[in-house]
Structure 1
Amino acid sequence: MMFFMILNLLPVDIYLPAVLLIANDLNTSVDNVQLGIFFYLISMGIGQLFLGSLSDKYGRKPIALISLLIYIAASILATVATNLETLIASRLIQGIGACGCAVTALAVVRDLFNEAESAKIYSILNGAQSIVPALAPLLGGFISIQFGWRYCFGLLVVLGIVTFIFSKAKMTETNTHVLTSNCNEKQADSNSCSEQVKARSKPQSKSFWTITSDPRFIPNAIASMAAMAFIVQYVVKSPVLLIDNLGLTPTEFSLVFGSNAFLIMFAAFCATKLISRTSAKVTCYIGLALMILSSAMFFVIPNPDTLTQYLVFLSIGSFGFSFSLGSSIGMALAPFPECAGKASSVLGFLQFTITSIVGIVVGYFFPSGALSLAITVPAFAMLSIVFALINKPAQPA
């Protein structure tokens, strides 16, 4: 699952240092190239709506393997792109492949662990993902300078193939409905299938509306959207704030970007400890409060004057991101053990597609510095808190 989550972020981070090179090579603007990030995330969210349900029906492993093949094909297309349109198309297709990996990872964790354990595992996966922004920009910058930006996508092809081979050989199915169905087909007259597996494997029948209307889902889903909004806006705005405004070189930018990723990894480790000592809910609310504080700082000073100022604002938000993301995902998916794939797909759609669309719109009206981050993140965080207060689950009689 760590491999899947790493492949999920690599297409975003590995080509950040090469944005200017890509723009010059394809005779377009840097802003147009950066739009590829949003299109990638949007397609990730939309694709999950379909792939999550399919993983409930056909199993986690088949959907993961098909998604990896799509990911590999899209990466190949990106390596041969000669214009912006082809590059954007490859990013859209690549997002669909990546989302299959992401929804599989979320669903597998929910298949295997309860709410408290899931929150910890999601935090660990979040920490593993942080390896990508820590190393990918440095690696992408080196590859782009030494060999050309197309080789960044060539690396994704290789990693996709390796992950496919590894998953084909080692990944086991965790969807108990599929496991029991297969067992019943092969051993219809035998009692070798576990009674526990049979009990857990009732076919899912919940609709998207049933999932989104669950009072336990929406507040936590929106909290995860706040965390995702923070990290997406941070990724998109960092080159402008650090390279254009503060004058950092691409290498210096990669070092700063990578150091914050290691901070997120440390914060994710702290989140697992905090969940153990308190609860996922408390950890999530602390994270939301930290992100609101960071956003308020960026709202007052959307274009930090010094690198130290920028890092202070960002560090507070990064801890908030790590505290809120894993805990909110665990709580959002907890009510849906029988349809973890579909619930994960709804969550992914909200996290990636809706958050990205809101980010594009807010960024259009508030283009200055980090204003879009300062507006979208607290808006989602406050909305999560409001829904938690007015949409409490009914207490049992």
Structure 2
Amino acid sequence: MNNSVGLKFTISLAIIVALGPAAIDMYLASMPNMAKDLNTSYASTQITLTVFLIFMGLGQLFFGPWSDAIGRKKPLLIGLITYIGASIWAALASNLESLIFARAVQGIGASMAIVVVMSMVRDLTEGAAAAQLYALLNTIVALGPIVAPAIGGVIGAHYGWRGVMFALGGLGIVVLVNTVCTLKESLAVKDRIKLNISSITKIYLNILKNKIFTFNLLALSAVYFFLFAYIGGSAFVYQTNYGLSTEQFGLVFGLTSISLVLGASSSAFFVKKMSIIRLAMIGALVMLVGSVTCIVMHIFNIGLIGTVFGIALGLFGLGILEATLMAIAMESQKVALGSSAALLGAVPMLLSSTATPIAGQLVEVDTLYWLTLLGAIGPLIMLLVFIGARNANQ
């Protein structure tokens, strides 16, 4: 196993993984206008985000083992083509129902791409090297929430949410061409497993019996819940409560997300200076402080600046945690890495998919309810990371 991979290969993996976040972040600023265009409520438009997350999660549960059986590249190409077609479908949707179905298919396409990339990392690296690569990928991908909302805000302001969906399709085409030209198969034939329903169930059960994997999986799920609860409520709070325009929202959302990049890049640096487990504990503590800060700032009526500061702190901790939790969980597995990556991708997505409709409902009642939800997740993350660390040290 080669513990170092080239920059070109890393960037190719990163832009593939970025398709999922792009499909989430680019149209956030357009959601209030989408609700008006489709004659529905803001909370109803959250369903388009929820189904994307659900199917991006469910798809990974199947495509992870499938990639363990037939290799990585074929499922990756199929996923990219599916993503492109679904993006065009979404852009042409005439009603909310059609858009929901298109987003479900788009999520399936993204699921194939993401689970393959996460598997490729462990095909080629392990240990601290894998943690560094995960962190580097997350750093590059974390640029998405900075760039995507701003770009999406501009596109949405001039061409509406349909223009955003066409742009996602165009991005998918660029990634597909790069993948065909750049990436090679990373799973040797001798390392592939036989695929059948009974073996898939057995593999998943064996993976979940590992306490280190399971508690880090639950912690990662809580981390994602925080992220999507923030995403699900931010457009409404920033635009309705604080009076930001579509383009201003994209800018503020993007600037706040810089802390996510800083957290991920810090993780890549500090993993060489301390143990992965200790770094995960630090990330959890920062998220806890950030989530509580959100509530305190709102109670003392600090306003937009206070809310953004607390969120930024939480996202910094999230940037540290995402890579470290993935690395710790994947390091606990030696075989069926595609299935392990599938669980790490699917379970957090499925559990956190409930965050967006909950957040959408809460912000329409009161901003404090939304912030309280974010604040309650911090202690839960800290507890799960602590239990996972204790099992890893035993």
TM-score by length of 2: 0.88
Residues 219 and 385, structure 1, Cα contact 8 Å, conserved in 2? no
Q: Does 1:286 align with 2:287?
A: no
Aligned to 2:152: 140
- The equivalent of 2:256 in structure 1 is 260
Greater Rg over alpha carbons, structure: 1
In the other structure, the counterpart of 1:71 is: 83
Partner of 1:116: 128
- Shift of the 42–380 alpha-carbon distance from structure 1 to 2, 3 Å rule, reads farther
1:392 to partner: Cα distance: 5.2
Question: Cα distance 1:164–1:338, how it changes in 2: closer, same or farther (>3 A)?
Answer: same
Which residue of structure 2 lines up, in the alignment, with residue 196 of structure 1?
A: none
Q: 1:302 and 1:107, CA in 2 relative to 1: closer, same or farther beyond 3 A? A: farther
- Amino acid in structure 1 at the alignment position of 2:91: T
Letter of the structure 2 residue corresponding to residue 336 of structure 1: Q
Deviation for aligned residue 1:74: 0.9
Q: Contact (CA 8 Å) 2:203, 2:336: kept in 1 or not?
A: no
Alpha-carbon distance in structure 2 between the residues aligned to 1:249 and 1:363: 19
Displacement of 1:37 in angstroms is 1.3
Question: How far apart, CA to CA, are the structure 2 residues paired with 1:228 and 1:278?
Answer: 24
CA distance in structure 2 between the partners assigned to 1:292 and 1:345 by the alignment? 27
- Structure 1 alignment gaps of length 5 or more: 181-200
> How many angstroms does 1:147 deviate by?
2.2
Q: Which moved more, 1:279-288 or 1:333-342?
A: 333-342
1:295 is matched by which residue type in structure 2? S
Structure 2 counterpart of 1:107 = 119
In the superposition, relative to structure 1, how do residues 377 and 74 fare at CA in structure 2: closer, same or farther (>3 Å)? Answer: farther
Shifted more, 105-114 versus 142-151: the winner is 142-151
- 8 Å contact from structure 1 (residues 22, 149) kept in 2: yes
Partner residue in 2 for 1:339: 336
1:246-305 Cα offsets, whole Å, 9 max, x none, are 222222211111112222212211111111100211111101111111122234455764
2-side partners of 1:341 and 1:157: how far apart? Answer: 26
Distance 2:333 2:324 in 1: 16
Which of 322, 326, 335 in structure 1 is aligned with 2:323? 326
1:81 is matched with which residue: 93, 117, 120?
93
Give the match for residue 276 of structure 1: 272
1:237 aligned partner = 233
Shift in alpha-carbon separation, 1:126–1:24, aligned structure 2, 3 A: same
State the alpha-carbon separation in 1 of the partners of residues 229 and 86 from structure 2. Answer: 24
Confirm or deny that 1:349 pairs with 2:346: yes
- String of CA shifts for 1:107-138, please: whole Å, max 9, x gaps: 01011111211111111111111221111112
Conserved 8 A contact 1:223-1:288: no
Q: CA deviation at 1:357?
A: 2.8
Residues 164 and 142 of structure 1: CA distance in aligned 2, closer, same or farther (over 3 Å): same
1:209-248, Cα deviation, whole Å (9 max, x unpaired): 1101112201221222232122212211211332222222
The equivalent of 2:41 in structure 1 is: 29
Q: What is the letter of the counterpart of residue 234 of structure 1? A: Y
Question: Matches of 1:15 and 1:359 in 2, distance apart?
Answer: 14
Distance 1:22 1:284 in 2: 38
Counterpart pick for 2:211 among 198, 201, 215: 215
The alpha-carbon deviation at position 359 of structure 1 amounts to: 6.0
Please give the alpha-carbon distance, in whole angstroms, between the structure 1 residues aligned to 2:106 and 2:47: 14
Pairing 1:246–2:242 present:
yes
Give the C-alpha shift of residue 63 in structure 1: 0.7
CA RMSD of aligned residues (A): 2.1
Q: Which residue pairs with 1:92 in the alignment?
A: 104
Q: Report the 3-state secondary structure (helix = DSSP H, G, I; strand = E; otherwise coil) of the residue aligned with 1:38.
A: helix
CA apart distance, 1:103 = 0.6
313 and 34 in structure 1: CA distance in 2 versus 1, 3 angstrom threshold? same
- After superposition, the Cα gap between the structure-2 partners of 1:358 and 1:148, relative to the gap in structure 1 and judged at 3 Å, is closer
Task: Tell me if the contact between 2:294 and 2:309 (Cα under 8 Å) persists in the aligned partners.
Answer: no
Correspondences of 1:35-74 after superposition (within 5 Å): 35-74=47-86
Instruction: Map 1:159-170 to 2 at 5 A.
Output: 159-170=171-182
The answer for the alignment partner of 2:376 in structure 1 is: 375
Specify the code of the residue in structure 2 equivalent to 1:385: F
Q: 1:235 to 1:373 in 2, by over 3 A?
A: same
Alignment correspondent of 2:223: 227
User: Alignment length, in residue pairs?
Assistant: 371
Do the aligned residues in 2 keep the contact of 1:302 with 1:369 (CA within 8 Å)? Answer: no
Distance, in Å, in 1 between the alignment partners of 2:297 and 2:208 is: 36
Change (3 A) 1:202 1:156: closer
Q: Supply the AA of the counterpart residue of 1:280.
A: I
8 Å contact kept, 1:226–1:381: no
Distance 1:13 1:365 in 2: 20
User: Over residues 26-81 of structure 1, what are the superposed CA-to-partner deviations in whole Å (9 max), with x where a residue is unaligned?
Assistant: 11111111221122111111110000010000111011011111111111110110
Which stretch of the first structure deviates more once superposed, 356-365 or 102-111? 356-365
Structure 2 SS opposite 1:216: helix
Other-structure match for 1:193: none
User: Which of 151, 155, 162 is the equivalent residue of 2:163?
Assistant: 151
Once the two structures are TM-superposed, the CA of residue 8 in structure 1 deviates from its matched residue by 1.3
Unaligned runs of 5+ in 2: 1-12
Matched, 1:8 2:20: yes
- Cα distance in 2 for partners of 1:347, 1:216 equals 13
Distance 1:300 1:306, change over 3 A: closer
Letter aligned with residue 235 of structure 1: I
Deviation for aligned residue 1:385: 2.3
